[in-house]
Homo-oligomer: A and B are copies of this chain.
């Protein structure tokens, strides 16, 4: 590698995924760690965004990570910590000298410190809180008093307010004179004398208006406040649904306590999606790629255990038909086709329904219509595939009745799969259970049992 190579330049040939860290940079960083060249390491890390440094740390093995942290320590930026995933974050915090940790955390916004602290064990929390000024610590402890996954944890305390009778000139003069403005803000919130937010004005609207224009003439049509105890997934939904950029957070008395900005809402939306997809697959929703073997086992084994139980249930159904299978052993080879098709069709309906429930697209207003559509689709899927399956079975086994039996069983199972795929999550949701969490097991149990029952039952009736 020559001296003038820019290590941050993406290598299209080697890794053409936009924004992925390129291999050459990683190799150069690891080499600097190997030879213990702190100056070279710092130079290589300098152009990287903290989020990319965090990804790099997550993707290294523990041995290299430890050596890198010790070498890079004095340059360590607090924002890297906020970007790290939980397990690695604790590891890094324990590696960092106290003084460096304190400096790193002191520069962070209050919402980032809260984000950092909430996942840590008590001793690490103490280490970080101890490094903060008295006033900052009080703000953080207040934020941590709100429930986990609430708007209160997500918001920043710092916000820019103005009385509603101010003009653009008042607002600009006030902001120029203020010391404690947040790092980034997008609105001036108009409040009444009791600190209730009543409207907000975007900075863009202030910018384009003359100094004597009243703020109340510039307020946005859309104005929503967020209750401080609202679930953060609902906050993310509101930002996405109503195209909010920032929104004031209010306590039970409607008083302003903070502000949530869209970048934090976007992170929550991203995590919500990740949890949804992982739960649907029966993987613990706190699964991380850097989890150890044992952590991964702990997340996955329970669901496989549940599946073992439901698979045994399907096996007992088959066991009732041992006499039929003995008489016609070809049934044993054909029966998994019906069950597997049902499982797939059920997963299709289920995924669509779980997703639609999460986006509030499936509600009481259209539930019945969607259920009817799924039933129709299940029936038509079954009829479309029963014909080729029946004909091929007839041709291969020379038994037209066997073809008819497997075709009929397929129609029944795909109908049931579609119906179960949409009704199970609807019922779960009505019961207040996360439909992503447990619906999959129910639905595949239903399709396995019905699949084997329909095929072997019909075979017993028709063929024996």
Instruction: Give me the interface of A with B, judged by CB distance under 8 Å.
Output: 14-15, 17-21, 23, 26, 49, 51-52, 55-56, 58-61, 172, 175-176, 178, 181-186, 202-204, 206-210, 222, 230-231, 234, 237-245, 262-263, 265-267, 269-270, 273-274, 276-278, 280-283, 287, 289, 291-293, 296-297, 300-301, 303-305, 307-308, 311-312, 314-316, 318-319, 322, 325-326, 329-337, 339-341, 343-345, 347-348, 350-352, 355-356, 359-366, 369-370, 373, 376-377, 380-381, 384-385, 388-389, 392, 414, 444, 448, 452
The answer to whether A319 and B330 touch across the interface, beta carbons within 8 angstroms, is yes
A364 contact set on B, CB distance < 8 A = 14-15, 23
Q: Which residues of B contact A231 (CB under 8 A)?
A: 18
Residues of B within 8 A of A282 (CB): 344, 347-348
CB pair A311 B336 closer than 8 Å: yes
Q: Are A361 and B289 in contact (CB under 8 A)?
A: yes
In whole angstroms, how far apart are the Cα atoms of A56 and B448 in the complex?
Answer: 37
CB distance from A172 to the nearest CB of B (A): 6
Please determine whether A266 and B239 come into contact, CB atoms closer than 8 angstroms.
yes
In the A-B complex, the 5 residue pairs with the closest CB atoms: A281-B351, A273-B273, A203-B203, A18-B234, A318-B333
CB pair A61 B369 closer than 8 Å:
yes
Q: Can you identify 17 A-B contacts, CB atoms within 8 angstroms?
A: A19-B234, A19-B238, A20-B363, A23-B364, A49-B222, A59-B361, A182-B204, A186-B203, A186-B204, A262-B262, A277-B355, A278-B352, A283-B351, A301-B384, A308-B389, A319-B330, A343-B343
List of B residues within 8 angstroms of A344 by Cβ: 282, 303-304, 307
- Decide if B388 touches A283 in the complex (CB within 8 Å): no
Q: Are A300 and B381 in contact (CB under 8 A)?
A: yes
Shortest Cβ distance from residue A336 to the other chain B in the assembled complex, whole angstroms: 6
Report the minimal beta-carbon distance from A236 to chain B, rounded to whole angstroms: 9
Q: Count identical subunits in the complex.
A: 2
Bound CA span A280–B347, Å = 10
Q: Besides the contacts A59-B363, A314-B337, what 5 more A-B pairs have beta carbons closer than 8 Å?
A: A245-B245, A266-B269, A289-B366, A312-B337, A319-B330
A445 nearest CB neighbor, chain B only: B340
Cα A366 to Cα B26 in complex, Å, equals 11
Q: Is the CB of A377 within 8 A of B297?
A: yes
Q: Given known contacts A18-B234, A172-B207, A308-B341, is B448 in contact with A289 (CB within 8 Å)?
A: no
Instruction: Write the nearest CB–CB distance from A171 to chain B, whole angstroms.
Output: 8
Given contacts A18-B238, A49-B241, A181-B204, contact A352 B304 (CB under 8 A): no
